[in-house]
């Protein structure tokens, strides 16, 4: 990696991102096909999978659901809390020891602020560039993009362009499951908001580096969409999702 120019680094070591609109273990505490898919991407037996519950303020109930689910998978689950004092981990060393990260849902704005305060945004980019799998649902899905649609600022959906920028463009979770998401996201893109991906609950987009390589679903009918402008015309392109067993 040291010999790669910055613009070529993702071609040297392709990290992966799985962005899930909603679903996964979060609802029940039981592993779903997408959770199994995420673990499989690490490419080794019993990978270390770290849960980041920052968006929920490290809620204990969320953490318990993660451990209950991922203890049933072929991996070594752990977590990185950032709301305890003091933080007990050597962050750079701890982050580089993980093969995969799962980021839970909650407030995207709060997640980004806390990560940047602790320098975790930079450490996760380094881990991704070294080949780690970054995954997450809702806030944990849209944080990787340049821009996103969120309810983190109050009851109304709001556009933000302060994402991590690991992936270009924008993202919107819960697309077909929240009646306000589709019209809000379409209107914003028609007005010049960055084009991007809309994700139903139960559907996920899988990137290797910055290249979309797969769209997967854990339930029938859930899918992803590419929303863009073409000569001033709004285009909603359904992306065929592969239903996981």
Residue 10, beta-bridge partner list: none
User: Cα–Cα–Cα angle for 29, 35, 40, nearest 5°?
Assistant: 145
- 138, 170, 184, 217: which is the annotated catalytic residue? 138
- Is-above-0.85 flag for pTM? yes
Q: Which domains does the chain have, with CATH numbers?
A: 14-239 (3.40.50.880)
pLDDT for 86 equals 65
> Within a 10 A sphere around the Cβ of 3, how many other Cβ atoms?
7
- Please provide the distance, in angstroms rounded to a whole number, between the alpha carbons at the two ends of the chain: 36
β-bridge pairing 211-217 and 203-208 = antiparallel
pLDDT for 114 equals 97
pLDDT for 14 equals 74
pLDDT for 9 equals 41
Half-sphere exposure of 146 (CA within 13 A, CB side): 9
What's the alpha-carbon Rg for the chain, to the nearest Å?
17
pLDDT for 136 equals 98
- 26, 107, 170, 174: which is the annotated catalytic residue? 174
CA distance 233 to 212: 23
**138 noted as active-site residue:** yes
Instruction: Name, in order, each residue with C-beta under 8 angstroms of 170's C-beta and a sequence gap of 6 or more.
Output: 142, 145, 146, 147, 148, 149, 159, 163, 189, 193, 194, 195, 196, 197
pLDDT for 4 equals 47
Query: Which residue stretches of the chain have pLDDT < 70?
Result: 1-13, 86, 88
């Amino acid at each position: 990696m040291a010999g790669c120019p910055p613009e070529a680094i993702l071609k040297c070591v392709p990290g992966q991102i799985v962005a899930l609109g909603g679903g996964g273990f979060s609802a029940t505490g039981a592993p779903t096909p997408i959770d199994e898919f995420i673990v499989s991407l690490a490419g080794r037996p019993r990978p270390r999978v770290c849960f980041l519950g920052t968006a929920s303020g490290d809620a204990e109930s969320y953490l318990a659901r993660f451990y209950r689910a991922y203890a049933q998978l072929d991996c070594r689950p752990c977590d990185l809390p950032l709301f305890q004092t003091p933080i007990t981990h050597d962050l750079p060393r701890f982050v580089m020891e993980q093969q995969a990260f799962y980021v839970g849902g909650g407030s995207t704005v709060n997640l980004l602020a806390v990560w940047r305060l602790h320098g975790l945004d930079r450490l996760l980019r380094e881990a991704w560039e070294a080949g780690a799998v970054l995954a997450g649902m809702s806030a944990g899905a849209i944080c990787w993009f340049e821009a996103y649609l969120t309810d983190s600022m109050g009851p109304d959906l709001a556009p933000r362009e302060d994402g991590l920028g690991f992936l270009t463009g924008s993202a919107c979770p819960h697309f077909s499951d929240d009646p306000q998401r589709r019209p809000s996201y379409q209107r914003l893109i028609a007005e010049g908001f960055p084009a991007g991906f809309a994700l139903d609950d139960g559907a996920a987009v899988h990137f290797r580096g910055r290249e979309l390589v797969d769209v997967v679903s854990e339930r029938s009918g859930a899918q992803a969409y590419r929303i863009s402008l073409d000569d001033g015309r709004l285009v909603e392109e359904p992306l065929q999702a592969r239903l996981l067993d």
